[in-house]
Structure 1
Amino acid sequence: MASRTQPPARQQAPAAVTLVVGEEEFLVDRAVRERIAAARAAAGDDGGDLHDVEASTLTPGELATLTSPSLFGGGAIVIVRNAQHAGKEIAADLARYATSPPPDATLVITHAGGAKGKALVGDLTKAGASVTECPKLTRPSERAEFVRNEFRRAGRQADEGAMRALLDAVGTDLRELASAVGQLASDTEGKITAGVVARYYRGRAEATGFSVADHAVEGRLNEALEQLRWALATGTAPVLINSALAQGLRLLGRVGAAGRGASAVALAAEVGAPPWKIDRVRQQLRGWHPDGVARALQAVAEADAQVKGDSVSADYALERAVRRIVAYRAGAGR
């Protein structure tokens, strides 16, 4: 029998160079995390030094330095993000590296797809890089298939009604959907049905309230109103929905004031939100003017007073607030 002190056998090494192509942020992040985990598992230790850099900040020859073994032994894991922004020299370095990658190093390159930097995708593919596609999921059927696959990953059975109910409850953000599936998988037993989802999410204001807020600040009026009406119909307190609207707008203002140059990690620590949320808020800021954010916050403040007793209809006050948020994003009322 093998000794208990014997080190575990190394797993099969992942591809030396992996290209992750697509705009679906959550799927791209997951693919990168999985490659890092595979590299570390194959190495039987921490996998060596980890470097996470933007392609636009790389300098000629720097890739060779990053992928070199550390002074203390062990390989390196290098993540090069947004390769569509790589200059000609850096693109050439990446393509050249992929043709003959050194041992004990793992390189993961992300690329948004599209026309910009398309030649690099072709060069890396021809060089033998492993390619993972992460296209944007825009159709309802694609998001339903995503939820179905998430339940499979969790080893749980769920019927079609459960998937529709979860999409209604959580919205369309893949990160939130994946988290919701994980919560359901760990907190419930047996086959997951629409009834199970409804019972689990009834009263969970964060799931629906923040979905309303996300749709509103992104200017998606119809989706925001649909989520609002669903939340109200399932008993979510109006004051909690309005609180989610206020939090979403305050975060929008704080991230906007910090500017694009601030690190997402540092800013996340400052405002008390995860880095992925900072990245999403930065995307949501497109189309907003500081005056619009201020006016939207005022609209939510008025709605807060109304849902707490100054209005005959709290439902109407919230709908009006959502409509005003979307209008201020579009520039109306400046």
Structure 2
Amino acid sequence: MATPARRAPASKARIAIPQLSWRTPQPAPIVLVSGPEEVCAERATAAIRDYLRAEDASLEVTDLRADDYSAGSLLGMTSPSLFGEPRLIRVTGVEKCSDAFLSEAIAYLSMPQEGATVVLRHTGSSVRGKKLLDAIRAGEGGGVEVPCPAVKRDSDRFDFAAGEFTTAGKRIASPALRTLVSAFAGDLTELAAACQQLISDVPGDVTEQIVERYYGGRVETSAFAVADTAIAGRYGEALITLRHALASGADPVPLVAAIASKLRTMARVAGTRESSSALAARLGMKDWQVDRARRDLSGWTDATLGMAIQAAARADAEVKGASRDPVFSVERLVTVIATRVPFGE
């Protein structure tokens, strides 16, 4: 009788390190701040600095570049000083780190210095430093990770802005928040700055009127304002809004992208009978997005919506190089959507 084959020993399970929100990070010997969203990464690093400084005002803060690294720098900066002050070392450029930094950082994980917090910033733009990241994520060095994923979708920007006001203990009306997010749909840094300005300047609750007073010009010429007026069938206003947007430097590509995004949301919601909350959960949207799409569908049919989506696809190709006149392509798209008839009829 054949002897049963022996099972290979099970591989050692990898340790999953804690993953913390960038809004509420905690210091640790190693803090990996990962992901492409620079606004969130800067907030996380600043929050760790403030946390450590609140514990000990004598905190020493030093900055180090992983891509322009001198051998021995990491150990020198983390080593205790004569008076034993806590140390915070902020390391940038880990995604393009030198060989010297990579080898010394990996070695450091086996002997992190007491009283030192090393924040490693890796944008994820390359696989450089993967061996270091894998070691940290496996639990070496007793670290934590603060993910900063890209904020791309409307719902992500809405959550970001809502979090800014919640963190500050400030109330903002939902219409005001939607208006603010629409006004800064293309730049998270500007959206963050706008939120902080309102938080700082406005003594009470933030209303839609206040947002319009601060950022009215920006709101009027935003890509989503163009989309909203066209979808609502306000042809003349849509063209005026579009021309204001183009005159203020708006690019045709994001203008078409904003219109196409709203049309796709309308198509996903059209014909459904589920409650807003159930449909939002199934589609990965917010309740207010479902409600807004349902309002936008007023006066639309399957045929006109399909025609508009086809027009958006054509305009998208044209503004990305298939046409010599991208401005005309956007104007034609707005005309088709606002009048709900093929161009020229």
Aligned-residue sequence identity (percent) comes to 32
Q: Distance in 1 between matches of 2:198 and 2:33?
A: 29
1:74 is matched with 85
Which of these residues, 25, 29, 35, is aligned with residue 22 of structure 1? 35
Q: Distance in 1 between matches of 2:101 and 2:74?
A: 8
Give the CA deviation at 1:120.
Answer: 1.6
CA spacing shift, 1:19–1:224, aligned 2, 3 Å: farther
Which of these residues, 118, 128, 131, is aligned with residue 145 of structure 2? 131
1:84 is matched with 95
Give the CA deviation at 1:53.
Answer: 1.9
Q: 3-state DSSP class of the match of 1:38?
A: helix
Is the contact made by 1:67 and 1:75 (CA closer than 8 Å) also made in structure 2?
A: no
Give the CA deviation at 1:233.
Answer: 4.6
Q: Distance in 2 between matches of 1:95 and 1:159?
A: 48
One-letter code aligned to 1:15 = A
Q: Does 1:146 align with 2:160?
A: yes
After superposition, give the CA deviation of every residue in 1:80-99 in whole Å (9 maximum; x if it has no partner). 11212123442232123233
Q: 3-state DSSP class of the match of 1:202?
A: helix
Q: Distance in 2 between matches of 1:146 and 1:23?
A: 15
Give me the CA root mean square deviation.
3.9
Q: 3-state DSSP class of the match of 2:145?
A: strand
After superposition, give the CA deviation of every residue in 1:142-162 in whole Å (9 maximum; x if it has no partner). 111111111101211223322
1:290 is matched with none
1:51 is matched with 62
2:187 is matched with 173
Is the contact made by 1:21 and 1:133 (CA closer than 8 Å) also made in structure 2?
A: yes
Higher helix share: 1
Which of these residues, 117, 126, 129, is aligned with residue 117 of structure 1? 129
1:1-334, aligned counterparts within 5 Å? 14-45=27-58, 47-48=59-60, 50-70=61-81, 74-113=85-124, 115-125=127-137, 126-127=139-140, 128-203=142-217, 233=241, 241=248
CA spacing shift, 1:87–1:191, aligned 2, 3 Å: same
After superposition, give the CA deviation of every residue in 1:220-265 in whole Å (9 maximum; x if it has no partner). xx789879x99x759x8998x47x99xxxxxxxxxxxxxxxxxxxx
One-letter code aligned to 1:179 = A
1:254 is matched with none
Q: 3-state DSSP class of the match of 1:135?
A: coil
* Higher alpha-carbon deviation: 54-63 or 20-29: 54-63
CA spacing shift, 1:195–1:208, aligned 2, 3 Å: closer
* Higher alpha-carbon deviation: 157-166 or 82-91: 82-91
Size of the aligned set, in residue pairs, is 222
Q: Distance in 2 between matches of 1:69 and 1:208?
A: 56
Is the contact made by 1:143 and 1:172 (CA closer than 8 Å) also made in structure 2?
A: no
Q: 3-state DSSP class of the match of 1:162?
A: helix
Q: 3-state DSSP class of the match of 2:114?
A: coil
Q: Distance in 1 between matches of 2:246 and 2:98?
A: 50
One-letter code aligned to 1:177 = L
1:315 is matched with none
Higher relative contact order (Cα pairs below 8 Å, separated by 6+ residues): 2
**Taking structure 2 as the reference length, what is the TM-score of the superposition?**
0.54
If you compute each CA radius of gyration, which structure gives the higher value, 1 or 2? 2
Q: Distance in 2 between matches of 1:197 and 1:188?
A: 10
**Taking structure 1 as the reference length, what is the TM-score of the superposition?**
0.55
**4+ residue stretches of structure 1 with deviation over 6 A?**
222-227, 236-239
